Amino acid sequence: MKKRLLLVGAGHAHLEVIRQLRNNPIENVEICLISPSDYQYYSGMFSGYAEGIYSEEQTRVNLRELTKKSKINFVRKKAVRIFPERRKLFCEGGAVYPFDLISFDIGSKSIPPDFTASIARSVKPNYQFVEQINHLRERPTPLIVGGGAAGCELALSIQTYKNNHRIEGQVKLITSRAVLSSTPGRTARKLRSVLEEAGVLLWEHEKVTHIFEDYISTNENNRIRHTGVLWLGGPVGDPIFTDSSISVDERGFAFIRPTLQFAEYDFIFGAGDCVTLRSDPSMDKSGVHAVKQGPVLFRNLRAYLTHESLQTYEPQKHALYILSAGDKKGFLLYGGFSLYGRQAWRLKHKIDTDFMNKYK
């Protein structure tokens, strides 16, 4: 009798698992990918799409085509709850999927619970990002919440799009801390000047307290008018884990061991933003790590099913990050080193297109 492996979500790590299964199938195992969309959009190209460099097709992977090549069943549904002791996954609409082994790579959410009922929107789930960006690019004063890499990238990309297409208005960016607060001061100062030169209006060290139809209020008693809010603050966990009584950190991310197995269950694996490595809880929620986890996850899923020893994932001490800064310029960050200019963007473009070409 065949065993069943469920891959829930099509994040970076699961894309690599599916790709490797094409040439390295696991005998006597039925594999299903469960995802709420036919497409997985690549977050590394969100800024390029927003600026008008990439088409929608260039930013996404067709999951039906990818799974077909690897002889994997594709189920277009959203998972909502897992019953570990019964080894069953429940999806929206009431569908239930039994499993022997399950892996999660579902990413994170960005809008905190206090604002989920507001008009604020997000690029997550990622299959909604095109619609959100298309709307905001045409609006006079879109407001972006969050001064991390994603918020700064999209503020600059949308402003560059507006400048290039002579669309009136300015992007507004608000952050509860300084922009790129985790980077060296000189890098943050340079990015701040790039934002100002592009025409982005910036509010630092101010926290959003209320969101209304045409303005937000802050803890500094400011009212900032807007024509649309895109929330790109810190990530929060998908409720599937807390709803399933699985051990999570303070933001709702499931704890995993270095083998990428859940803290309490050997037969549940996880990778990417949806999980927290218990041995390194401060590790960034970044696609950089998810990409590196992909090969380890594939080997360990196979090893579990074939009763072999599992490998451990060891995070890089310093990871390479490249932020798009508009006008085909970028910020390259590696440890304390940074580089700004077209050379950095060209490297980002190569990395991103090479990544996508692996799964096309």
For residue 193, give the CATH number of its domain.
3.50.50.100
Domain identity same for 133 and 204: yes
Q: Is residue 131 part of a domain?
A: yes
Q: What pLDDT is attached to residue 184?
A: 79
As beta bridge partners, residue 121 has 230
Q: Is residue 24 part of a domain?
A: yes
Q: How would you classify residue 209: left for phi > 0, otherwise alpha for psi between -120 and 50, otherwise beta?
A: alpha
- Residue 180's closest CA among 152, 202, 215, 157? 152
Domain identity same for 9 and 86: yes
- Angle among Cα 94, 96, 102 to the nearest 5 degrees reads 135
Domain identity same for 229 and 324: yes
Residues 170-196: pLDDT tens digits?
999 999 999 999 887 888 999 999 999
Which structural domain, as residue segments, surrounds residue 167? 113-234+319-357
- Residue 330's closest CA among 346, 310, 316, 352? 346
Band (99; pLDDT cuts 50, 70, 90): very high
Domain identity same for 97 and 121: no
Q: What pLDDT is attached to residue 98?
A: 98
On the CB side of 263, CA atoms within 13 Å amount to: 15
Domain identity same for 94 and 8: yes
Domain identity same for 144 and 84: no
pTM of the model: 0.95
β 208-211/215-218 pair status: antiparallel
Q: How would you classify residue 45: left for phi > 0, otherwise alpha for psi between -120 and 50, otherwise beta?
A: alpha
Q: What is the CATH number of the domain that holds 298?
A: 3.50.50.60
- Across 215-242, b (16+ Cβ under 10 Å) vs e yields ebebeeeeebebbbbbbbbebbbbebbe
Domain identity same for 16 and 54: yes
Q: How many CB atoms lie within 10 A of CB 24?
A: 11
Domain identity same for 286 and 156: no
| Number of domains into which the chain is organized | 2
- Across residues 195-223, what is the average pLDDT? 97
d(CA 202, CA 197): 11
